[in-house]
Chain A
Amino acid sequence: MRKVLSKIWNWIDDRGGFSELAKPLTTHLVPPDATWNYVWGSATLFCLVIQVVTGVALSFMYQPSAQVAYESLQYIQNQAFLGSFIRGLHNWGASGMMLLMGLHMIRVYLNAAYKYPREMSWISGIILLAVTIVMAFTGQLLRWDNNGVWSAIVAAEQMGRIPFIGNWIAYFLLGGTNIGGETLSRFFAMHVFLFPAIIFMVVGYHLYLVFRNGISEPPKPGRLVDPKTYRKWYEDMLAKKGVPFFPDAIWRDAVFSALVFIIIVSLAWFIGAPALTSKPDLTNVNVNPSPDWYFSWIFALFALMPRQIESYVIAFGPLIGGALIFALPFISNKGERSPLKRPWAIAGVIFVILSISSLWYMGYKEPWSPHFDAKPLPTTKTVGEFTASEKKGVELFNTVGCLYCHKINGHGGIRGPELTNVQKRLTEDQIIIRIVNGAENMPAYGGSLTKEELQDIVDYLMTNDK
């Protein structure tokens, strides 16, 4: 039996060339000291595999039509066998891909692996980063819930700030001057056909370069990269002490990817994908659009930037940032690679991580957003009683919108300063001036409040225990 099987396999392999196909993996030499710091890229690729598999699975159940997409997703989420798990895998796979890609990029930057002769690896990597961001964004719209639809509009508005061609790009993105079924169709086509095709091509090229130029050896302080001698030095080093990629190096990739897989499966099973918001309806204004976590820091930036420079930042920021990242290997492609000798590289990475993390935190808190659902203040005091005017003041505070942005005794929003003890900071006149005239971040109420109403609110605000 064994003999027969072995004969069959020999035939298949002889005519099919499978061993030969895999042979380069076993003969390709890599530096022996490439360790756990080299697993980020392969784990990113593994997430891409998860995305392809779960994406195919989802596409068997999802119906990309403006009329029923939302319902088909409800079905996937709530009724289909393993449906919510598959959606969870696709969601956390995307998160994992974004995160691991970021770590991979940081690793490559800190080790200056983008220097000679691996410049094209960096550039193709940046293209992959851009395409992955597009995939993450287009996927969010395919949920075809209120959040997804409004995200598309927010993205279009950002494009709109680009000088001269802004409008055109914005409407190109939306597939017309309004949101419609064609918007869903084009996001579906991009997410499922166009950009996956581009990803496959560029990933293929990226991997080809890894084999062609070899993985970068771990840097050693003082060992400089000299384009004139590097290739020869690298080949000699490999010939002397290189180890085969399979299995000496790849086992770490396999183990780490398996770990990633366990984490993603657990997250998908126990937490799942974000709940769908309400059915897309452009006449429903009671929504609170917010993007997925990988974009929420940008969303936060838009709320916090000085508005005088905002248009310029939106229009030119990504362009300048993208150009700089793209140009990195041309700015410096030789010399020192060790992060120990490149303190500014470390400082830069820490700075970027801290900035993005604090924006994430702000995006999570959303201190700039009015709290429409704030619990109204009680119109009765716990101790003593309000005068008629003060009582009227509380009611107005609840209804005219003060409450959305100001906190009193734990009720209300956090856009403006807390007013529980405002009577200790400001005089009655100062409060009146502020309410009537407003400020940079507060509307003026002079036009909408009557004199009596204003007095009622002020009377209330001046009381000592509210």
Chain B
Amino acid sequence: MDSDKEQTALQNTSREGENRRKFLSKITLGVGSFVAAVLAVPVITSMLDPVLRKKTPRWRKVGSLEDFEVDKTKMVSFKDTSPYKWSTEISQTAAYVRREQGDTFTAFSINCAHLGCPVRWVEESELFLCPCHGGVYYKDGSRASGPPPRGLFKYPIRVVGNNVEIKTAPIPITNMRA
């Protein structure tokens, strides 16, 4: 019987043989883990590359002064922070721009502060309404009703000469302490 042979072989091993076996198992496991660790590196780096690649927020023109009426809210669209050279429409993002008066502008993220759905501006009632869970915001972006824990997020916005520019920003994420 094979197993009998094995049994004898095991019984006959000297202490030296046993040490040798221990050493060989260690080598096998060690070499194996090393290769596995090295192979894991490319998976991890490529998984992280899109997240970690350098992204510089940019000021992007969203219109000229005369495009915005005082006390009115308007949706504008612009390229997000760092699209690849080959990115098409999907890198286009949007914001609501409100001209308070003269050169004073406010820019709101279109993402609801609750769970990120796109809010709609309803001109007649001067409210932002969210289709997902019924969040509502006033024209100044503050929370009016529904589940959002805070008001709408804002983008930095400035007027340069005759141009209105928005500074790109990440999709806003509401944290625990909103």
Q: Is A254 engaged at the interface, CB distance under 8 Å to the other chain?
A: no
Q: In the complex, identify which listed stretch (B18-26, B97-105, B131-139) lies at the interface while the others stay far away.
A: B131-139
Residues of B within 8 A of A315 (CB): 176
B72 to chain A minimum Cβ distance, whole angstroms, is: 13
Q: How far is the CA of A400 from the CA of B147 in the complex (A)?
A: 21
Contact between B176 and A157, CB atoms less than 8 A apart: no
Residues in A whose Cβ lies below 8 Å from that of B118: 150, 282, 284-285, 287, 289
Q: How far is the CB of A419 from chain B (nearest CB, A)?
A: 16
Whether the Cβ atoms of B93 and A282 lie closer than 8 Å is: yes
User: Contact: B175 with A161, CB < 8 Å?
Assistant: yes
- When distances are taken between beta carbons in the complex, the residues of chain B under 8 Å from A154 are 115-117, 132
Chain A CB count within 10 A is highest, among B47, B92, B93, B174, for B174
Decide yes or no whether B69 CB sits under 8 A from chain A. Answer: no
In the complex formed, the residue of B with least CB distance to A315 is B176
In whole angstroms, how far apart are the Cα atoms of A302 and B121 in the complex? 22
Q: B171 to A444, Cβ gap below 8 A?
A: no
CB distance from A180 to the nearest CB of B (A): 6
Cα A159 to Cα B80 in complex, Å, equals: 22
CB contact list, B158-178 vs A, under 8 A: 169-171, 173-178
Residue from A156, A172, A415 in contact with B116 in the complex, judged by beta carbons closer than 8 Å: A156
| Partner pick for A400 among B81, B125, B144, CB 8 A cutoff | B125
A441 touching B146 in the complex, CB below 8 Å, given contacts A283-B94, A369-B131, A447-B126: yes
- CB distance A302 to B173 under 8 Å? no
Does A177 lie within 8 Å of B90, measured CB to CB? no
B87, A447: Cβ atoms under 8 Å? Answer: no
Among candidates B119, B126, B133, B145, residue contacting A442 with C-beta atoms closer than 8 Å:
B145
| A445-B125 contact given A157-B116, A166-B173, CB 8 Å threshold | yes
Q: Are B75 and A285 in contact (CB under 8 A)?
A: yes
| Cβ–Cβ contact A311 & B146, under 8 A | no
Beta-carbon contact of B125 and A401 below 8 Å? yes
Residues of A contacting B157 with CB < 8 Å?
none
The answer to whether A176 touches B50, judged by C-beta atoms less than 8 angstroms apart, is yes
By the criterion CB–CB under 8 Å, are A369 and B134 in contact?
yes
Q: For A444, what are the chain B residues with a Cβ–Cβ distance below 8 Å?
A: 138, 144
- How far apart sit A174 and B47, CA to CA, in the bound complex (Å)? 11
Bound form: Cα–Cα A232–B175 in Å: 54
Q: How far is the CB of B52 from chain A (nearest CB, A)?
A: 9
Tell me if A385 is interfacial: C-beta within 8 Å of chain B: no
Verify A369–B84 contact, CB threshold 8 A. no
Residue of chain B at shortest CB distance from A175? B50
| Contact residues in A for B117 (Cβ distance below 8 Å) | 150, 153-154, 289
Once the chains bind, are A401 and B127 in contact (CB under 8 Å)? yes
Taking A179-B171, A302-B114 as known contacts, 12 extra A-B pairs with beta carbons closer than 8 A to each other, sorted by chain A number, are: A66-B88, A153-B117, A163-B175, A180-B90, A285-B94, A289-B132, A311-B149, A315-B176, A372-B129, A400-B124, A443-B136, A443-B145
26 A-B pairs with C-beta separation under 8 A: A67-B88, A67-B90, A153-B111, A157-B115, A160-B173, A171-B173, A172-B48, A178-B80, A178-B171, A181-B90, A186-B50, A281-B92, A282-B94, A283-B92, A288-B132, A289-B117, A307-B147, A311-B178, A312-B176, A368-B146, A370-B129, A401-B122, A404-B122, A438-B145, A442-B136, A443-B125
Closest 7 CB pairs of A and B: A177-B170, A443-B144, A160-B173, A401-B125, A182-B50, A400-B125, A303-B133
On B, residues with C-beta under 8 Å from A are 47-48, 50-51, 53, 55, 75, 77, 80-84, 86-94, 110-111, 114-122, 124-127, 129, 131-134, 136, 138-139, 144-149, 169-171, 173-178
Residues of A within 8 A of B (CB): 66-67, 150, 153-154, 156-163, 166-167, 170-172, 174-182, 185-186, 280-290, 299, 302-303, 305, 307, 310-312, 315, 368-370, 372, 396, 399-401, 404-405, 415, 438-445, 447-448
